[in-house]
Amino acid sequence: MSAHEGAGRDVRPLRRPRPWLRALALALAFAVPAPAIAATPAANNDDMMAAPPVAAPRPGYHADVLAHDPVMIRQGDTWYLFITGPGVSVYSSKDLRTWKAEPPVFAKIPAWAYEIVPGFNGHIWAPDISEHDGTYYLYYSISSGGKNTSAIGVATNTTLDPADPAFAWVDHGIVVRSVPHRDMWNAIDGQLVEDADGTPWLAFGSFWGGLKLARLGEDRLALAQPQEWHTLAKRERSILADDATPEPGAIEAPFIFQRDGWYYLFVSWDHCCRGAKSDYRIMVGRSRELTGPYLDREGRRMDQGGATEVLRGTARWPGPGHNSAYTFDGKDYLVFHAYDVEDGGRPKLKVLPIAWEAGGWPQVDASAL
């Protein structure tokens, strides 16, 4: 009962309130608004570089998964999802629809990360997961928004099952590093891919001079010597642009998918991480050789600005991007994030089937977002 309601019914002379009533009134005044404030999502989450959203702990399996930069792999009857997050966030699933949170890859951030990025916030970006000869390789990125002060590291494990006694991530440190004013490329968004001979390569890059491909050594833990590099894709960038700035040339997140003798290079154009204001979209080109050149549907080279659009956002789900692609049980899937305008612009996991035109170009139904 409020003070005004009490005054409306009490016609006797006003008396000094009792101390316990005053304390109760103050407690109610401060307590009542709290649930509404706590339940209100951020207006847009449009600065995720500086303040990335973090999923609240939830037991059990859920279809609604907060996710940036998702990649996945199957071990036995379980799929494991790795995403950008504190120490690299991990989820598991039995059906590709609902997911359960697992322990992060790193309970403690590798010390070298703070040497590369002083003040690093612990959010490790853009993981990539693969398996070779019984060992799982996780590539991950250490960086800060808008700078190519970055590095890609790698950790290994012999199992992805946290209940397995052999479960233990071993960090092997830096694979490749970029430095402002020295490099016109950015060492983030790595993906391991093998050529026709089984030779491992690392595709990576973001903005600046575009996306690169570098050959790895046989142990997959470092670049091969002598080094071999190729440019996969880029967008137009003025020679007058400051070397230390990423813009223009908004392209990142290469993922190479093999099908029917083609290497398909999926990339993300434009901008992530701005919540409902994100304009990310997924583009593609293809090549008969892993090293390229990759051509779009009209025959334009991706290393000269070409690319064919696969998926752009909708009013409900803007900014689809940073995709990976897989074949599971004979079906092809595009895995990516998009931003939920009905939940403060937070990034959410999306897994959609890929259809293929007669000419061999991928199609994804935007209405299924």
Active site residues: 69, 252
The answer to whether 223 touches 173, Cβ cutoff 8 Å, is: no
Q: Are strands 85-86 and 346-353 parallel, antiparallel or unpaired?
A: unpaired
The separation between the first and the last C-alpha atoms of the chain, rounded to the nearest angstrom, is: 47
Whether 179 and 148 have beta carbons less than 8 Å apart is answered as yes
Strand order from edge to edge, sheet including 78-83: 61-62, 99-102, 89-93, 78-83, 71-75
Hey, which residues does 201 pair with through a beta bridge? 193, 215
**How many C-beta atoms surround the C-beta of residue 204 within 10 A?**
30
The whole-angstrom separation of Cα 348 and Cα 350 is 6
Q: Residue 131: phi, psi to the nearest 5? A: -130, 140
Residue 274: burial class (beta carbons within 10 Å; 0-12, 13-18, 19+): buried
